[in-house]
Amino acid sequence: MPLDISWLPVAQSQPGGTRELVDSLARTPLSQVVYFVAILTLIRIGIFPLLRKTKVHHRSTGYAFARFVNEMLDAFIYAGVFVFMLIRPFGVQAFLIPSDALRQRLYRRQ
């Protein structure tokens, strides 16, 4: 008996919606992930000296924003490495196996 996931919001989304977004992220080539992580790392390296050299009495809203951006970039870097380079290749990988029932359901939506 196949697993029925039709109750999930991702399964019910319209074409171009959440399901396609999740699908495209799951199929992102590893080279693009490496480029993305490298670019975020370079941006983070550029922000860090600004944060380190700012004296305590000069820290204002701009400093708080730069610190927030630095921490978010750090989170994206770790998530990219952990999810796309460890979990996806060695743990879980999404596959779509086309079937007649799936094709009929997709054509009915259009």
- Residue 5 belongs to some domain of the structure: no
Neighbours of 69 (CB within 10 A): 14
Q: CA–CA separation, 71 vs 63, rounded Å?
A: 12
- Residue 73 belongs to some domain of the structure: yes
Check residues 65 and 97 and name the one with the higher pLDDT: 65
- Residue 14 belongs to some domain of the structure: no
Check residues 88 and 49 and name the one with the higher pLDDT: 49
- Residue 7 belongs to some domain of the structure: no
- Residue 80 belongs to some domain of the structure: yes
Range of the domain at 80: 28-109
What is the number of domains present in the chain?
1
Q: CA–CA separation, 3 vs 110, rounded Å?
A: 23
Residue 16 scores a pLDDT above 70: no
* pLDDT at residue 1 in the model: 47
Residue 15 scores a pLDDT above 70: no
- Residue 85 belongs to some domain of the structure: yes
**Model pTM above 0.85:** no
Residue 97 scores a pLDDT above 70: no
- Residue 3 belongs to some domain of the structure: no
pLDDT in tens, 44-84: 999 888 888 888 888 888 888 889 999 999 998 898 888 87
- Residue 58 belongs to some domain of the structure: yes
